[in-house]
Amino acid sequence: MLVPIITAMHVVTVLLWIGGVSFVTIIIFPMLVRMGDSLEKVLMFQSVENVFVRLARYYVVVVGITGFLLLYLTDQFSKLFTMQTLGITFMLIVWGLYSFILLFERKIFAKVFADNKKYDPDKIMVLLSRAHWFILALSLTAVFMGVLVNHSKNF
């Protein structure tokens, strides 16, 4: 009975997390790119991103804990990085990438945008939008692979 409860917690938290990434990527970024005032763009981005990052950190922790519990309880650790658990392995890699980005977000942004006089806010928004699309594509691919591999007997 424990595995279905943890699985449900895991899936719901992934939905919230990837849903948030989808919302920011598909709704917020196009809106920001179309805004005229550069200062308004930056302020709007910072306010949305600050809220989302706090939630995303929580989601990533919950997904990590429930994911590792599921691997342990279903005895899947020994099968990681094999064709049998390709979906889980890819999900783990994407989770690790997200964790790294969220953990070092401030340092990454400080390094990338160290010379802020050199950067145009409009170009930064386009760059961040593309990065979000890439992350969303990775996330959706991980979900797709996880469902395909784990729920298909012939894969």
Taking 70 as the threshold, does the pLDDT of residue 118 lie above it? Answer: no
Render pLDDT for 120-140 as a digit per residue (tens, 0 to 9): 777 778 888 898 999 999 999
- Higher-pLDDT residue of 110 and 46 is 46
pLDDT of 127 reads 84
Q: Are 129 and 33 in contact (CB under 8 A)?
A: yes
- Residue 141's Cβ-count burial label (10 Å; 0-12, 13-18, 19+) is middle
> Stretch 85-95: mean pLDDT, rounded?
89
Residue 12, number of CB atoms within 10 A of its CB: 14
CA distance 96 to 72: 18
Length of the chain equals 155
8-27 pLDDT, tens digit per residue, is 999 999 999 999 999 999 99
Helix (H, G, I), strand (E, B) or coil at 1: coil
Q: Which residue has the tokens 């990065």?
A: 131
The 10s digit of each residue's pLDDT in 38-61 is 778 878 888 888 898 899 999 999
Q: Within 10 A of 20 (CB to CB), how many other CB atoms are there? A: 16
Among 63-72, 74-83, 104-113, the minimum mean pLDDT is found in 104-113
